[in-house]
Each structure stands twice: as structure tokens, then as C-alpha cells.
């Protein structure tokens, strides 16, 4: 006869992006939360009794609900508050373990609502050497960029299957890929790449985005303007998936946007 010696259950990968708006300057907090319960749960395993099993979907919704109440300043305090919430409502639990991983976003320059995520991006360089010519390309892969203001999408065709509402105020989060082809060698490939990338991020931060396509084209235009050595750019954006986006504007009601963003796969 089998004996249950230890049990725990919970919910992992609860993704949350909270944007706190203080005028034109925004702060971004992205969390990935795991919640694990331990307690009097054996009957759910050995007898199929679910009377003490809180659905994991409720755990996820609780994270979102508590995040709506106040900006998350300290993740340790937020983790503690979640644990206390569950213990206070579920007397059969012995303990709750909440682990939160924080994904950092770095501000683009001094722009209030544009960010990049460091760590995933990779600089790319390639050279093709033939008997008749040599060519060089450089670029960036998997640079994650985020815009929390000055982005919209409207004026598109609609039919009976369209559910997306038009908006002039949305969060734009993408993984950015760019390859620039050199027609001639610059004095420094690294400095040329830095200048090209800075020009594209400046456009991303400053320009109102009518669509991802428009912003992408404008970023490419800016790159060509600052570097006379490049002859062509290949650009690709992959929209990032965010389960819940929460925006708080001080002295105003909290707005919650539930959105799933998908795009081209990048390999």
C-alpha cells in the first residue's frame, strides 16, 4: 500500500507587469511569481477530496488583485502580503511559500516612458569572404524594449471576428532584432553599432507609435540617417506576451489591461 509522505501544490509562472504613472515619468515592475501551499491536503491525493484545494487560477487572480491595490515598491513585502492573505483565508494550510523573480527594465536615456531589458540581447557580427569581395554585417538580437505611453493602434479593418478595440493609449512591448549591412567599413564597427542603436532607440522613445510597423520603419530611417556606411537594414519585432498589465495613474482610478500579445517566432 502506498503512503503519502509529503505533498505541496501551487501555481508557478504568474507574470505581472505593473506600470506606475507619475505624470510623464513612469516606473515599471515586472514579476514572475510562484506560490506553494503546504498543509492538510492529503485527502485531495488519496481520496479525491477537493474541498481544501484552492484553484491555482484563484492564486493567479489573487496576485493580480493585490497588485491592483497599491504600487509594488518592495517585492519582499508583496511576497509576505500574499502569504498572509492565503494563510488568513485557508486555515488548513500550515505554510505558504511565495517566491518572486524580478525582471529588470532600464530606462532609455532620460525618457519617462521607454525602457530596455538588459541581459537577453546579443550583439551579432558576420563576415562573408569571397574571392571577388568581402561583406560585413552587424546587428542586435533579442533586445527587449518597452513603451508605456505614446502608443496606439486604430483605423484597421474589422469584421465579425474582430474583438480588439481601437486605442490611442496602450503598452507596446517587443523583442527587437536588427541587422545592418555595411557598404563600406566604418572607422570602428563598435562605435558605428552604438550610434545606430542609439538612433533607433531615440525614435522608439520619442515618436508616437501609430503601429509597430510605423515605429519599425521610423527606427530604420533613423539608422540610415546617422550611418553613411550602411546600405540596408533588416528589422524584426516580436511582441512580448504579458498575461496582465496594470497601470496606475496617481490620484486617478486604477486601470487593468488583460492582454495576450503574440508575434513572429524568433529563432
List the one residue out of 67, 70, 94 whose CA is nearest residue 82: 67
**What whole-number percentage of the chain has pLDDT above 70?**
90
pLDDT band at 128 (very low <50, low <70, confident <90, very high): confident
Whether residue 248 lies inside any domain: the answer is: no
Three cell numbers, residue 211: 503601429
pLDDT recorded at residue 59: 93
Instruction: Specify whether 97 is located in the same domain as 20.
Output: yes
Mean residue pLDDT of the chain comes to 83
Instruction: Specify whether 74 is located in the same domain as 132.
Output: no
What single DSSP character describes residue 92? T
Whether residue 143 lies inside any domain: the answer is: yes
**Mean pLDDT throughout 2-20?**
85
Domain end, chosen from 83, 103, 123, is at 103
pLDDT digits (tens, 9 = 90+) for 143-171: 999 999 999 999 999 989 899 899 998 88
Instruction: Specify whether 133 is located in the same domain as 207.
Output: yes
Instruction: Specify whether 98 is located in the same domain as 120.
Output: no
d(CA 243, CA 247): 13
What single DSSP character describes residue 240? P
Whether residue 262 lies inside any domain: the answer is: no
d(CA 16, CA 127): 41
Number of domains in the chain: 2
Could you tell me the CATH number of the domain that includes residue 17?
Answer: 3.30.1130.10
d(CA 241, CA 261): 5
pLDDT recorded at residue 81: 92
Is 0.75 topped by the overall pTM?
Answer: no
pLDDT digits (tens, 9 = 90+) for 179-221: 999 989 999 998 999 999 999 999 999 999 998 889 989 999 9
Instruction: Specify whether 157 is located in the same domain as 44.
Output: no
d(CA 62, CA 211): 33
Whether residue 67 lies inside any domain: the answer is: yes
Could you give the C-alpha distances from 165 to 147, 152, 161, 169, in angstroms and in order? 19, 11, 12, 11
Instruction: Specify whether 113 is located in the same domain as 215.
Output: yes
Instruction: Specify whether 110 is located in the same domain as 236.
Output: yes
pLDDT recorded at residue 240: 65
Structural domain for 58, as ranges: 9-103
d(CA 9, CA 54): 10
Domain end, chosen from 77, 103, 129, is at 103
Whether residue 198 lies inside any domain: the answer is: yes
pLDDT digits (tens, 9 = 90+) for 22-74: 888 888 888 889 998 988 988 888 888 889 899 999 999 999 999 988 788 88
Whether residue 258 lies inside any domain: the answer is: no
Instruction: Specify whether 92 is located in the same domain as 116.
Output: no
Instruction: Specify whether 70 is located in the same domain as 36.
Output: yes
Domain end, chosen from 72, 103, 134, is at 103
Helix, strand or coil, per DSSP, at residue 75: helix
Instruction: Specify whether 233 is located in the same domain as 146.
Output: yes
Could you tell me the CATH number of the domain that includes residue 110?
Answer: 3.10.270.10
pLDDT at 235 over 60: yes
Contact 112, 101 (CB under 8 A): no
Whether residue 247 lies inside any domain: the answer is: no
pLDDT at 247 over 60: no
Amino acid at each position: 500500500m502506498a503512503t503519502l509522505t509529503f505533498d505541496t501544490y501551487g501555481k508557478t509562472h504568474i507574470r505581472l507587469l505593473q506600470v506606475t504613472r507619475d505624470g510623464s515619468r513612469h516606473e515599471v515592475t515586472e514579476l514572475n511569481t510562484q506560490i506553494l501551499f503546504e498543509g492538510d491536503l492529503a485527502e485531495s491525493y488519496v481520496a479525491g477530496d477537493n474541498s481544501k484545494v484552492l484553484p491555482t487560477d484563484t492564486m493567479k487572480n489573487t496576485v493580480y488583485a493585490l497588485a491592483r491595490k497599491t504600487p509594488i515598491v518592495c517585492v519582499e513585502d508583496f511576497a509576505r502580503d500574499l502569504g498572509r492573505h492565503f494563510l488568513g483565508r485557508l486555515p488548513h494550510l500550515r505554510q505558504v511559500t511565495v517566491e518572486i523573480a524580478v525582471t529588470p527594465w532600464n530606462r532609455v536615456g532620460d525618457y519617462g516612458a521607454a525602457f530596455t531589458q538588459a541581459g537577453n540581447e546579443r550583439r551579432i557580427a558576420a563576415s562573408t569572404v569571397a574571392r571577388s569581395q568581402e561583406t560585413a554585417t552587424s546587428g542586435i538580437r533579442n533586445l527587449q524594449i518597452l513603451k508605456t505611453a505614446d502608443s496606439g493602434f486604430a483605423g484597421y479593418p474589422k469584421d465579425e471576428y474582430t474583438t480588439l478595440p481601437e486605442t490611442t493609449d496602450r503598452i507596446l512591448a517587443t523583442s527587437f532584432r536588427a541587422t545592418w549591412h555595411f557598404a563600406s567599413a566604418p572607422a570602428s564597427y563598435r562605435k558605428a553599432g552604438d550610434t545606430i542603436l542609439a538612433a533607433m532607440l531615440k525614435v522608439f522613445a520619442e515618436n508616437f507609435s501609430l503601429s509597430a510597423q510605423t515605429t519599425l520603419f521610423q527606427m530604420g530611417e533613423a539608422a540610415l540617417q546617422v550611418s553613411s556606411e550602411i546600405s540596408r537594414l533588416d528589422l524584426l519585432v516580436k511582441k512580448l506576451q504579458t498575461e496582465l498589465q496594470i497601470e496606475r495613474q496617481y490620484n486617478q482610478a486604477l486601470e487593468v489591461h488583460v492582454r495576450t500579445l503574440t508575434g513572429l517566432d524568433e529563432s
